[in-house]
Amino acid sequence: MRAPAAAGLASLRWAGRRSTAAAFRAPSTTTALSPSSPSSPFDHGQSRTGATLVDTPTAAHDVARGEAPPPESPSRQAEASRIFRDAVAAAGPRQDWTRREISAIYYQPLLELAHQASTVHRRFHSPGEVQLCTLMNIKTGGCTEDCSYCAQATRYQKGTGLEARRVETVESVLAAARKARDNGSTRFCMGAAWRDMRGRKNSLRNIAEMIRGVRELGMEACVTLGMIDDDQARQLKEAGLTAYNHNVDTSREFYPSVITTRSYDERLQTLGRVRDAGINVCSGGILGLGESSEDRVGLLHTVSTLPAHPESFPVNALVPIKGTPLGDSTPVAFTSMLRTVATARILMPATIIRIAAGRKGMSEEKQALCFMAGANAIFTGEKMLTTDCNGWDEDSAMFGRWGLSPMKSFDKTPPGGGQVR
Ligand code: SF4
């Protein structure tokens, strides 16, 4: 259990910040993209090498696929309005969304979409409560996968200069978890740059010890270790794991442009094993990989039609890292980020939506818009794997200015009922 003294210290810190007008250091904002001219009916002003400028209904795309009449058609507009209205009014989560329905929601006028997502958020969550998670890299670099965005892949090491490190000790991980807890974080996530856990018996034993230690601190424990089998999932569950993170990253169609060493189905199989072991699933995506709006709709379709909605859905904005294949990517437009958050909130009303990588580059006002539209978790602390993270002081000051408060541990009803484990 969490030590009362430490818990008191953390809450005092956040409460204290709330009444203090601490100086806010405005971070740089996401870069606006320059319009690109469509080169084919399938481009819609977007490209595979640059992120979307503006998310607009993709008439040509839909017509070419024989899926829908053009958006200017009154019948389609009426249908989209009806889908949107019904989705917002839904009494609980549903897993049978079609891509057409998700498109109808995603392409709504943005402020209306954000506003309606906000009403859904208020029905399913305490508005203003935001979960504080801290993410630690417990094994850096040396990964055999080829994720085009990742500094930890061995094959990009020459360009990134990132040095691989051995697995952290249990003691050092628990010291970091204690520090995170004392600063107000309630979930501690541990990431290891591995393809899978095959032949890593000793490491799994150590990780189980880390999980037990994190739980003894009164925190929720999450890990991301690549692919795992049924037995490994069972061992993690027995150690007390709260959630397992395994992102699907993007749509099924676009995924092979980003990763070739692990299939989309393998990712879904890992999520199935986690779910079957009774561990909460954390699975999200990365925006700004060069995907189209349709790919963002595809990502949302994948996660919202899983047998159970993920307990948490991290929305990452790519932080381009020099030396990786996506190192020169243009940052994703904030409107795409907001659209994705708002649509996810409507599709998966009970899920925790986490603003993950890329938050460091978002102004406080942009973050606030995401919180309004349904985001209710952040990563906070010193580092986020290999990139910088907004620190606890910065975030507690922001919470004070916007009237936000930290979500307590184990205080969330996961999608489908029950208790956060
Ligand atoms: S599996 Fe994870 S650590 Fe490995 S390259 Fe992909 S994102 Fe990076």
Residues 230 and 327 in one domain: yes
- Predicted local confidence at residue 69, as pLDDT: 43
Instruction: Give the least confident one: 45-49, 99-103, 401-405.
Output: 45-49
In this prediction, residue 4 has a pLDDT band, given cuts at 50, 70 and 90, of very low
Q: Are residues 259 and 194 part of one domain? A: yes
Map the chain to HEC letters.
CCCHHHHHHHHHHHHHHHCCCCCCCCCCCCCCCCCCCCCCCCCCCCCCCCCCCCCCCCHHHHHHCCCCCCCCCHHHHHHHHHHHHHHHHCCCCCCCCCHHHHHHHHCCCHHHHHHHHHHHHHHHCCCCEEEEEEEEEEECCCECCCCCCCCCEHHHHHHHCCCCCCCCCHHHHHHHHHHHHHCCCCEEEEEECCCECCCCHHHHHHHHHHHHHHHHCCCEEEEECCECCHHHHHHHHHHCCCEEECCCECCCCCHHHCCCCCCHHHHHHHHHHHHHCCCEEECCEEECCCCCHHHHHHHHHHHHCCCCCCCEEEEEECCCCCCCCCCCCCCCCHHHHHHHHHHHHHHCCCCEEEECCCHHHCCHHHHHHHHHCCCCEEECCCEECCEECCCHHHHHHHHHHHCCEECCCCCCCCCCCCCCC
The verdict on 149 and 288 lying in the same domain is: yes
Strand-pairing partners, residue 285, are 249, 315
C-alpha–C-alpha distance, residues 131 and 406, integer Å? 6
Among the residue ranges 13-27, 112-126, 344-358, 390-404, the one predicted with the least confidence is: 13-27
Does ligand 1 come within 6 angstroms of the Cβ of 331? no
Q: What is the mean pLDDT of residues 28-53?
A: 33
Same domain? For 194 and 102 the reply is no
How many A from CA of 111 to the centre of ligand 1?
Answer: 35
Q: Is the pLDDT of residue 21 over 50?
A: no
Which residue has a Cα nearest atom 6 of ligand 1? 147
Mean of the pLDDT values across residues 61-84? 68
Residue 415 lies in a domain: no
Q: How confident is the model at residue 56 (pLDDT cuts 50, 70, 90)?
A: low
Q: How far apart are CA 309 and CA 180, in angstroms?
A: 28
Specify whether 133 is catalytic.
Answer: no
Are 153 and 61 within one domain?
no
**C-alpha 96 – ligand 1 centre gap (Å):** 30
| pLDDT tens for each residue of 294-342 | 999 999 999 999 999 999 999 999 999 999 999 999 999 999 999 999 9
* pLDDT tens digits along 164-195: 889 899 999 999 999 999 999 999 999 999 99
Residue of 416 and 402 predicted with greater confidence: 402
Give yes or no: residues 149 and 99 share one domain.
Answer: no
Computed over every residue of the chain, the mean pLDDT equals 84
If one residue of 150, 196, 384, 386 were mutated to test the ligand 1 pocket, choosing by the most ligand atoms within 8 A of its CB, it would be 150
Number of domains in the chain: 2
- Can 143 be counted among the known catalytic residues? yes
Q: Per-residue pLDDT averaged across 236-240, rounded?
A: 97
Query: How far does the centroid of ligand 1 lie from the alpha carbon of residue 186, in Å?
Result: 25
pLDDT tens sequence across 81-111: 999 999 999 999 999 999 999 999 999 999 9
Could you tell me the distance, in angstroms and rounded to a whole number, from the CA of residue 141 to the centre of ligand 1?
8
For a pLDDT cut of 90, what percent of the chain falls above it? 69
Domain presence at residue 295: yes
Q: Are 133 and 115 members of one domain?
A: no
- Answer yes or no: do 205 and 77 share one domain: no
Residue 398 has pLDDT above 70, yes or no: yes
Residues 101 and 176 reside in one and the same domain? no
In a domain, 101, yes or no: yes
* Ligand 1 atom closest to the CA of 262, numbered from 1: 1
User: What is the average per-residue pLDDT within 26-34?
Assistant: 29
Q: How far is CA 231 from CA 69, 108, 142, 163, 222, in A?
A: 48, 44, 25, 31, 17
Q: Is the CB of 227 under 6 A from ligand 1?
A: no
pLDDT band at residue 47 under the 50/70/90 scheme: very low
Q: Does some domain include residue 313?
A: yes
| pLDDT at res. 298 | 98
pLDDT, position 35: 29
238 lies in the same domain as 323: yes
Tell me phi and psi for residue 117, to 5 degrees: -60, -35
Q: Which of 124, 147, 169 is the last residue of a domain?
A: 124
Question: Is the pLDDT reported for residue 351 higher than 70?
Answer: yes
Higher pLDDT, 288 or 58: 288
CA distance 361 to 108: 26
Candidate of 138, 139, 143, 321 to mutate for ligand 1, largest count of ligand atoms within 8 Å of Cβ:
143
Choose the final residue of a domain: 97, 124, 151.
124
The residue from 189, 273, 275, 359 that is catalytic is: 189
**Under 8 Å between Cβ of 327 and 159:** yes
Is 416 within a domain?
no
- Gyration radius of the chain's alpha carbons: 21
Residues 370 and 388 in one domain: yes
| pLDDT given at position 58 | 46
Q: Which of 124, 149, 180 is the last residue before a domain boundary? A: 124
Q: Any idea what the CATH number is for the domain that residue 319 is in?
A: 3.20.20.70
Is the pLDDT at 5 greater than 90? The verdict is no
Q: CA-CA distances (angstroms) from residue 367 to 5, 13, 108?
A: 31, 21, 20
173 domain-assigned: yes
Question: 196 pLDDT exceeds 70?
Answer: yes
Say yes or no: 215 and 329 in one domain: yes
Task: Let me know if residue 227 belongs to a domain.
Answer: yes
- For ligand 1, the distance from its centroid to the CA atom of residue 38, given in whole angstroms, is 32
The pLDDT tens digits for 241-299 are 999 999 999 999 999 999 999 999 999 999 999 999 999 999 999 999 999 999 999 99
Domain presence at residue 341: yes
Q: Look up the domain containing 247 and give its range.
A: 129-406
Query: Is residue 249 in contact with ligand 1, taking CB distance under 6 Å?
Result: no
pTM, 2 dp: 0.83
